[in-house]
Chain A
């Protein structure tokens, strides 16, 4: 059982469309991170959210951390082909475990 469930698993959209990716858990996380990974490469950190209810914007990307610190979302406005990749959420659990727990990812393909 995945501690972090991501949805959808796959998403194929046209350039210019908006999309939202979700990351949900029944566990509380002290912080949550979003990464993007391209084929054959390691994940690259996009953002860290720490406070329940926090919203962070990174150009066309908007990240939100749920009030209860159990879920998060990533919204992309006007998607571009360069946004194509595997989007992973990962969290540091409130239990103090010293390793990131990753979701299984959302594979996004943006068609030109």
Chain B
């Protein structure tokens, strides 16, 4: 296993379109996190799964955002009706307990 992977690495979409990102965590890690990072800022927490259960969601996660982890392995983050303010790097991290291992991120640009 080579670490956390995310797909795609880059996504350019037009305002109003839906996008979906995928994260494949390190296989033995049961916790998975999604963060959003804008330019010049640190990552901001979006949501967290323990196995397939979504245990916590940030208020940043509006109703246009939904995340799933159907079998407790990979996770998807969907953004519906994208807005220009959604442009950011979306990071996924998996953890065995406290130390988080990040993927390379998906950079979303909404035009």
Contacts and interface: CB of A to CB of B under 8 A. Distances in A.
Nearest to A45: B99
Contacts, number: 57
Contact of A90 (B4, B42, B58, B105): B42
Interface residues of A, number: 23
Nearest to A92: B98
B98 A101 contact: no
Nearest to B4: A42
A102 B44 contact: yes
Given A31-B98, A42-B105, A100-B100, A88 B45 contact: no
B101 interface: yes
Given A42-B93, A88-B42, A99-B45, A48 B103 contact: no
Nearest to A30: B98
Contact of A99 (B40, B48, B91): B48
Nearest to B101: A45
B107 interface: yes
A109 interface: no
Interface string B39-76: 01111110010000001101000000000000000000
Interface string A87-107: 010101000011111111100
Contacts of A52: none
Contacts of B102: 35, 42-44
Contacts of A31: 98
Looking at A31, A33, A42, A44, the one whose CB has the most chain B CB atoms below 10 A away is A42
Contact of A40 (B43, B48, B107): B107
Nearest to B3: A42
A103 B42 CA distance: 6
Contact of A33 (B35, B99, B107): B99
Interface of A: 4, 31, 33, 35, 40-45, 48, 88, 90, 92, 97-105
Closest 7 CB pairs of A and B: A42-B102, A102-B42, A99-B45, A102-B43, A104-B42, A43-B102, A88-B42
